[in-house]
Amino acid sequence: MSAIHTWACFLLWISSATQDKTPDAHVTCVFSEECVLPCSFQPGGEEEVQWFRQDVMVYSFQRDDDGSEEKSEHEHYSGRASLLPHLVSHGNATLVLRGCGPKDRGRYRCHVRTSAGVHEAHVVVKVEAPVRALTLELSRLSGYEEMKCTTRDVYPAPHVAWATDPPTFEVLRPITRKLADKHGLYTVESRLRRLKGHPELIYICKVSSSYGAQAWTASLREREIRGIEGRDLTVPCHTPPYLQDPSLSWTFANGKDPAHILTYDSQSGQGSASEPWQGHVELDTFRVAFGDGSLRLVDPEEDEHSGIYTCVFSSPYNTHTEHSDVIISAVGERVHSPEPSYWWIIALVIAVLVVALVGMLAYLYLKVKGSHLKPRKVSEEATELQLVKDGTADSNLSDSSPLTVEDNNGQTGCQPGSPLT
C-alpha cells in the first residue's frame, strides 16, 4: 500500500504542476520605446510581486495589510521599470519597461506570492530596431561603378541579398559590412560591382530582419536617353512586379537642387504637376495603374530640359528608382545612339566572306584555264616536232636526187657530163 500511495502522490504532484504550468509569452520590444511584459494571477491579498531576468532581480513590489507599499529595482532598470500599483490588487502584475535596448533581451520570470498561494509566469523578450529606410544608389568612388545599398540604426544585424531583373548567368559577389555603434545598433552597407554589357539592368537589394518579421526592398536602374530639341521625347519608367499599387514621383536635376516635376497618388488615382512643368510634361495616369509611369516631354529645349530625370515608385517597405540621363541636342546636331554599335563586326564578317569567295573563284578559274592550255601546248609541241622531222627528210631527199633542168620546151635536161646544145 505504501508503494501505491507514493505513486499516487507523485502522479498528483505531476498533474498539479502541469496544470499550473503556464506557457511562455513572447514579446518583441521596439528599441527606445516602451514595452509591456504581461503577468496575471489570482488575487488573494498581501501581494508580493518580483520580476527576475535570468535569476537577477529586476523589480520588486510588496503591499502590506495596512496598505503601505514598498518597491525596489535593479540599477540597470532604475527609472525604467514599474508596475501599475492600483492593478496589482486586481491580479495584474504587468511590468512596464521604458527605453528598451539590446541589453534588455532575455527570459523574464514573474513571481507573485499572495495569501492564497504562489503564481509564476515567464516572458521571452526580444528587442528590435526595425529598418526605417533603405537607400540604393550608383557610386563611382572606388574607381569603378558599383551599386551601394545602405540602412542604418538596425538591430539585430539584418540579412542582405542581391538580385537582378532580368536574371543573369553571372555570379553576384557583393561585399557587405555591418558595424555596431555604442548602443548596439548596426549600420549595414553592401556594395555590388555593376555588371558590364548590361547597361539597363535592374539591381535589387533586399534587407530582411533576423527575426523574419520584416523585409525591405530597393531597386535601381540607370539609363541614358538622347533627343532632339523641339521633338517630343518619352522618358520610360516601369515598376517591377513585386510592387503593388505604388505611388509615383518625378524629379529633375541639372547641376542644381532636384526640382519636383509631378506626383501620382495610387489611392486617388490622380496626378499633379508643379507649375514650371505644366504644359511641358504629360503622364498617362491610366497606364500608371498598370506599372507604366513613363513621362512624355513636350517640345523639349536643349538648355532647359537636359539633365537627370528620376522616377520613384514607392509602397510600404519597397521602392523602385530609375535615373535617366536625358541629353537634348539642338536641331541639326548629330545625335549619337547611346547603345554600342555592332555594325562594324557585321561589315568585317561580310568583307572576309567576300574576299574568301573571290579567292575561291579565282582559284577555280585558273585551274580550269590551266586544264585547257596544257593539251594545246602539247599539240603545238608535237606539230613543231613533226615539221622539223619533215624538213629533215626533204633535205636528205634533195641531196641524193640528180639535178634536172627543164628547158623552155619542157624537155628535161641531160645528165651531168652530157654535151650542151
Average pLDDT along the chain? 81
| pLDDT tens figures, 165-184 | 999 989 999 999 999 999 99
Number of domains observed in the structure of the chain: 3
Distance CA 228, CA 206 (A): 38
Residues 178 and 272 occupy one common structural domain: no
- List all residues 6 or more positions away from 155 whose beta carbon is below 8 Å from its beta carbon: 31, 102, 127, 128, 129, 184, 185, 186
Residues 134 and 124 occupy one common structural domain: no
Burial class (CB in 10 A: 0-12, 13-18, 19+), 403: exposed
Locate 66 and state its grid cell. 495596512
> The domain that contains 33 carries what CATH number?
2.60.40.10
CA 114 to chain centre: 61
Beta partners for 224? 325
Q: Which of 332, 351, 374 is the last residue before a domain boundary?
A: 332
Domain with 52 in it:
19-128
Distance CA 34, CA 64 (A): 29
Residues 149 and 119 occupy one common structural domain: no
Residues 155 and 109 occupy one common structural domain: no
Decide if pLDDT at 3 tops 50.
no
Q: Is residue 261 part of a domain?
A: yes
Decide if pLDDT at 17 tops 70.
no
Decide if pLDDT at 262 tops 70.
yes
| pLDDT tens figures, 327-384 | 999 876 554 444 455 666 787 888 888 888 888 888 787 777 766 555 555 455 555 5
Across the range 387-391, mean pLDDT stands at: 50
Q: Is residue 401 part of a domain?
A: no
Residues 195 and 292 occupy one common structural domain: no
Q: Is residue 402 part of a domain?
A: no
DSSP 379: H
Q: Which of 128, 160, 177 is the last residue before a domain boundary?
A: 128
Decide if pLDDT at 228 tops 80.
yes
Residues 203 and 240 occupy one common structural domain: no
Residues 263 and 172 occupy one common structural domain: no
> pLDDT at position 112, please?
94
Q: DSSP 3-state assignment of 33?
A: coil
Q: Which of 128, 145, 172 is the last residue before a domain boundary?
A: 128
| pLDDT tens figures, 119-174 | 999 999 999 999 999 999 999 887 889 999 999 999 999 999 999 999 998 999 99
Sheet with 281-283: strands ordered across: 233-235, 295-297, 281-283
In terms of pTM, does the model score above 0.85? Answer: no
Residues 123 and 139 occupy one common structural domain: no
Q: Is residue 76 part of a domain?
A: yes
Q: Is residue 328 part of a domain?
A: yes
